[in-house]
Structures are given as structure tokens and as C-alpha cells.
Amino acid sequence: FCVGGLGDEHALQGTQSRGIAGPASPDKGLVSLRLVTAVLTLNAGENAFVDWAKIVDCGDAPLTFLDNTVALKQLDKAHKIISGRKSANSSYRTPRIITLGGDHTTTLSALRSAYERWGQVSVIHFDSHLDTWDPKVIGGGISHYAGVNHGTFLHLAHEEGLIRNSSIHAGIRAPIIRPKGDLRNDLRCGFEIVKARDIDRIGTHGVIEKLKQRVAGSRVYISVDIDVLDPAFAPATGTSEVGGWTTRELLTILDGLSGMEVIGGDIVEVAPIYDNPGETTVLAAAEVAHSLLTLMVQKPVKA
């Protein structure tokens, strides 16, 4: 397992860049994200840190904040290097990577890397936004450069053939630009939708079952945008949307996905500069990373 930091929200938008990254002295938020306590949890009844798997912090990938295209190429290279290393376990030689960050665009590099090692994957995408927008809509069709961003990366992943047509969003509640066109394009990109308010009707168990049924029989990549949580629980993100899930609900859903072949994941869009003194957001993000790690340890996967 490799854990890397991908930095502050909008790292690829021209502000501070830290990637699986950046300056020699890590910012407070990224350090906090790494403080996942190695303890036996009462909920899971197990300690993933002392199980069969060896867990390695791979540090930060160097990303420039001057050019988005160059930054993504740097990140592609970092993923290629890390995923190309042989794992410590002779039975499972391909490492599985959890990425910490960072602008959601970084998931595109992670999916490219996952495709090279595992083939097409189903994506479970926890977010308040679809992120499958056509670059001609988000980016204005002005240039390819403008069209690669944190609202289009799943559209691009579909266009590149990285993901299966058995993917699903969870926690969606944000406005859409073209009510019919955006939903048609989302379906074309291979996604179904569990809306945030569906949890009021079917509960966490119902959400878990929908996610499991959708990705059944495939290898899975889990991407968690911290804004899937309500701003009351995760204020430190660049695109907050009210009416989201609680931290407890998200963790219950993640832990309920046990048994799936999770080959990679990320927790992104954390912007520590916006967090409160209690570090509500980074604490939630660290526990999400813990849940992703536990899912991987529970189910070994061979490439």
C-alpha cells in the first residue's frame, strides 16, 4: 500500500500545490491528514495497520502550481513510479494506492495509473457534484487546457477508456448546468446516481446495497470528495454544498462496502486553510482514509 499527499484544494488551479508533493516542510493540514491512529476500532473490530499488509507513506509528489498540464504530467509520472514498485508481499505484487489531497482533477492521474495495472475499473464516486461535465460546458470549449478540471475529470476518464459503465455517484446534491444534457452525458459516461437525500428514504443500508449491486463483479476505485459531507462536518473545501451527509453516515457506508475488490482510492478537495481550530475537516478526511485502507486490507487483490 502506498499513501501519498496531493495537497490543497485548487492545487491545479494555480494556488499552493502539494502533491503524492511539494515543499519540503509539509503544511499543517496535510500532516493532520496523515495522523490516522493505528488502533483497534470498536466499529470494525480489527486493526488494519497490524494485519497482513505492509503500509508505506510514499511522501509527496512534486507538482508545479504554474501550469495545470505540466502538474498533471508530473502526477502521472509519480503514479507510474509508485505503482511500478513491487509490494513487500510475494503473493500480491502490485501495490494499491491511496491518494490524499488535493484538487479532484488529481483522480484522473490515479485512474490512468490504475488502468495500467488493473484494467478498467468501476468507480464509486462520493461527491456533491457529478464531475462528468463535458469540457465544452465546464471550460467553455475555449481550449483543451481549460477543459481539464475538477468538474470534467470523470468525463475525460470515460473518454480515455479508463472506467467501466458500471460506475456510480453517491451523495449528489449540487445544481447542474443543463438539467437534461448533463444527466444524459453522465449516463453516457457510465454512471448511476444516489442522491444525498436518498439516505432519508432508504437509509445507510439502502445506499450500501445500491453501491454494491452497481459495481458487483468488478474491481473498484473509490474516490471521496470531502464535500460529500455537509459543510457543518467539513467546512474546509472549495465547493461546499448544504444538505450533505454526516461524517458518521459516510463512514458507515464506507465500512459497509467490505468484501469488494478495492484496488485504489483517494480522499480529495481538502483545503486546510479553510478549516476551523478543531480541524473538523482534516480529522474527517483522515478517518475516511482509514476506512479506505481497512477495505483494502480486508480483501487482498491480485493484478
Question: Which amino acid, residue 151?
Answer: G
Cβ neighbours of residue 45 closer than 8 Å, sequence gap 6 or more: none
Tell me what pLDDT residue 35 has.
55
Is residue 105, in this structure, part of any structural domain at all? yes
Confidence of residue 196 (pLDDT cuts 50, 70, 90): very high
Question: Residue 155's closest CA among 141, 143, 138?
Answer: 138
- Which residues participate in the annotated binding site for Mn(2+)? 104, 127, 129, 131, 225, 227
| pLDDT exceeds cutoff 60 at 1 | no
- What range does the domain containing 131 cover? 2-8+28-298
What is the rounded average pLDDT of the residues 25-48? 56
Please count the other Cβ atoms lying within 10 Å of the Cβ belonging to residue 43.
Answer: 11
Query: Does residue 23 lie in a domain region?
Result: no
Q: Is residue 228 part of a domain?
A: yes
Residue 191 forms beta bridges with which residues? 167
pLDDT at 48: 83
State how far the Cα of 165 lies from the Cα of 296, in Å rounded to an integer: 22
Structure confidence at residue 273 (pLDDT):
87
CA distance to 74, 77, 156, per residue, from 80 (Å):
10, 5, 19
Q: How confident is the model at residue 97 (pLDDT cuts 50, 70, 90)?
A: very high
13 or 185, greater pLDDT? 185
Tens-digit pLDDT profile for residues 119-165: 999 999 999 999 999 998 887 778 888 888 899 999 999 999 999 99
- pLDDT tens-place string over residues 252-294: 999 999 999 999 999 999 998 899 998 999 999 999 999 999 9
5 has a pLDDT exceeding 50: no
Task: Report yes or no on 21 lying in a domain.
Answer: no
Please, what is the average pLDDT of the chain? 86
Whether 66 shows a pLDDT value over 60: the answer reads: yes
| Largest Cα span, the chain | 52
Residue type, 280: T
Is the pTM higher than 0.75? The answer reads: yes
pLDDT band of residue 42 (cuts 50, 70, 90) is low
- Amino acid making up residue 54: K
pLDDT value, residue 34:
56
Bridge partners, residue 187, by sequence: none
Residue 14 lies in a domain: no
Residue 118 lies in a domain: yes
Q: Report, as an integer, the average pLDDT of 230-250.
A: 95
88 alpha carbon, distance to own chain's centre = 24
Average pLDDT, stretch 213-238?
96
Query: What confidence category does residue 33 fall into, taking pLDDT thresholds of 50, 70 and 90?
Result: low
To which residue does cell 478517518 refer? Answer: 287
Output the domain CATH number for residue 266: 3.40.800.10
Average pLDDT over residues 99-125: 94
- The tally of domains found in the chain comes to 1
Q: What is the pLDDT of residues 21-30, one digit of tens each?
A: 323 334 555 5
Greater model confidence, 211 or 141? 211
Share of the chain above pLDDT 90, in %: 62
Alpha carbon distance 196, 199 (integer Å): 6
Residue 130 confidence (pLDDT): 96
Comparing CA positions, the residue from 232, 104, 241 lying closest to residue 174 is: 241
Please determine, for residue 8, whether its predicted confidence score (pLDDT) is greater than 70: no
